[in-house]
Amino acid sequence: MKSFLFRLYLKWMCFLAHFTTMEENNVVILNGSGRSGSNGYLFYKYLQLNHPEFNVTLVEPWPSSHLKWATWQKIGAARYVITTHQPFKARKGQINVQFWHGVPLKRMGNMAHNTLRRDTKRNGKLWEKNADIVTSSSDLYETLMSACMAISGKKYRKLGFPRLDYLKKPVISKAELLKDLFDQVDEQAQIGIYMPTFRYELEDQTIMDQIKQGNFFAFEDFDGQQLNEALAQRHQYLIVKLHPYEMRLFASFKSNYSNIAFLNNDYLFDHNYDLYELLGDTDFLMTDFSSIYFDYLYLNKPIIFITNFLAQYEKTRGLLMGPYEEITPGICVNSQTELIKTLSELDNQQIRNRRLYWLDLTNQIKGDNYCEQIFDYMTKRYR
């Protein structure tokens, strides 16, 4: 019922938006990705800095039923509508540029085990109707996205993703990040970051209970103090960046560990950072089924894959590729005991070769400055 009413709300607001005057140099960015590798937010920053001749409006969170009429006027007046999730237009004549928010690893839409057929059919029609440009990085990306969303091949353009421009250009130094999050000075420091996927959709309350109690890995053998000591012995520091839903479970939880720190959206919003503007300062990544690892390949740094809920996740939602151990260029662990053993040797030549193999598969675009490529194409193609 809520979904139906929201669609009615959107139709009504789009009708009203027709009474605004569209301007060629107006861009609106509908950002549903927060500050965790948001193509929309980072493209917004790029346009503000490099193209002041364009009027750019950032709308977040999106979608929302609480936007002011002034915001809808700006949406209606935009020639270019940038989206990070479902494509959207308020009126005819607008150009929708679809960034999406990650190379898909988890099943979505048509391919997912936990979606309804009527919803996937509706989404397919919206993609066909509203998306004009779907930015891409590779044939593999296009194949995976089309399998899930039924996107026409003619809509893709291999232009890259804005977030990748910021991976190798951190906004602060590694020493500053260490001081900000850990209040430490350590010239030997290795900073790791743990970014799991959205585990709530596993519909397993025991997982949420473990996370709420401070067991952010939801390991059966979790021991925070033991893990902290293992990190400290190696001059390693772990940033824990959970999904916003899981971070809410930590509302009153403060890390009592010297080498483990929680990164929430408040730090990112307060400093006007996106997470990708900090990732270049990290030395290794830990994740489970999050597609962030495809982007982390650009840094060519070690990745640890946490597999304690792999079987459960494959059954509940599913993955687009497998076997998992073959598509993940890093060391897989399913317990804290295995994780601690891995911390002493994160990398080797065989793993580095696998990372480069997967980077070639997921990135067929030569050169850098993806933001500029996207801007040039969208403004010249529809001039």
Domain ranges of the chain: 2-160+366-381, 167-362
Q: What does the chain come to in residues?
A: 383
- How far apart CA 124 and CA 155 sit, in angstroms, is 13
Q: Mean of the pLDDT values across residues 237-260?
A: 79
Q: Answer yes or no: same fold for 2-160+366-381 and 167-362.
A: yes
Within a 13 Å sphere around the CA of 98, how many CA atoms are in the beta-carbon half? Answer: 24
pLDDT over 80 at 250, yes or no: no
Phi, psi of 123 (to 5 degrees): -65, -40
Best CA proximity match to 102, nearest among 147, 39, 151 = 39
What is the Cα–Cα distance from 216 to 223, expressed in whole angstroms?
11
The residues, any chain, with a CB within 8 Å of residue 196's CB and separated by 6 or more, are 242, 243, 246, 287, 288, 289, 290, 306
> Is 167-362 assigned to CATH 3.30.930.10?
no
Region of 232 please: left (phi>0), alpha (psi -120 to 50) or beta: alpha
Query: What tokens does 288 get?
Result: 């489970």
DSSP code string of 13-44:
HHHHHTTSPPEEEEEEEE--STTSS-HHHHHH
Write down the mean pLDDT value for the chain.
90
Please report, for residues 18, 87, 123, 144, 218, the alpha-carbon distance to residue 15 in angstroms, rounded to integers and kept in the order given.
6, 17, 21, 34, 47
Residue given tokens 């403004």 in the structure block: 379
Lowest mean pLDDT among 8-12, 84-88, 103-107, 180-184: 8-12
Three-state DSSP at 324 gives helix
Least confident of 11-25, 90-104, 151-165: 11-25
Mean pLDDT for 340-359 is 95
Q: Which residue has the higher pLDDT, 379 or 115?
A: 379
- Residue 240 pLDDT more than 90? yes
Contacts (Cβ under 8 Å, ≥6 apart) of 16: 69, 72, 76
Arithmetic mean of pLDDT, 258-270: 91
Instruction: Check whether 252 has a pLDDT greater than 60.
Output: no
Structure confidence at residue 75 (pLDDT): 94
- Cβ atoms of 120 and 127 within 8 Å: the answer is no
For the chain, give the percent of residues with pLDDT over 70.
Answer: 96
Of 140-149, 229-238, 268-277, 308-317, minimum mean pLDDT range: 308-317
Region 115-136: mean pLDDT is 88
Q: Is the pLDDT of residue 253 over 70?
A: no
Q: What is the DSSP string of 153-190?
A: GGGEEE---GGGGGTTS-SS-HHHHHHHHH----TT-E
Q: What confidence score (pLDDT) does residue 1 get?
A: 46
CA-based R_g, the chain, Å: 21
Least-confidence region, from 167-181, 201-215, 286-300, 317-331? 201-215
Band of residue 213 on the pLDDT scale cut at 50, 70, 90: confident
Q: Are 330 and 303 in contact (CB under 8 A)?
A: yes
In CATH, what number does 2-160+366-381 get? 3.40.50.11820
Residue 2 pLDDT > 70, yes or no?
no
SS3 (DSSP) at 82: strand
Q: How far is 289 from 293, CA to CA, in rounded Å? A: 9
User: Residue 19: which pLDDT band, with cuts at 50, 70 and 90?
Assistant: confident
Looking up tokens 């004009």, which residue turns up?
132
Q: Is 53 exposed, middle or buried (0-12, 13-18, 19+ CB in 10 A)?
A: exposed
> Which one-letter DSSP state was computed for residue 137?
S
The packing angle between helices 139-149 and 349-362, to 10°, is: 60
Is a pLDDT exceeding 90 seen at residue 158? yes
Query: Which of 218, 263, 271 has the alpha carbon at shortest distance from 244?
Result: 263
**Would you say residue 215 has pLDDT above 70?**
yes
Model confidence over 265-291: pLDDT tens digits?
A: 889 999 999 999 999 999 999 999 888
- C-alpha separations of 130 from 17, 57, 202 in Å: 16, 19, 31
Q: Which residue has the tokens 């193209």?
A: 51
* Residue linked to tokens 């989206």: 83
C-alpha 368/C-alpha 371 separation (Å) is: 9
Most trustworthy range by pLDDT among 10-24, 135-149, 204-218: 135-149
Give CA separation, 282 vs 192, 238, 296, 332, 351, in Å.
6, 9, 10, 19, 18
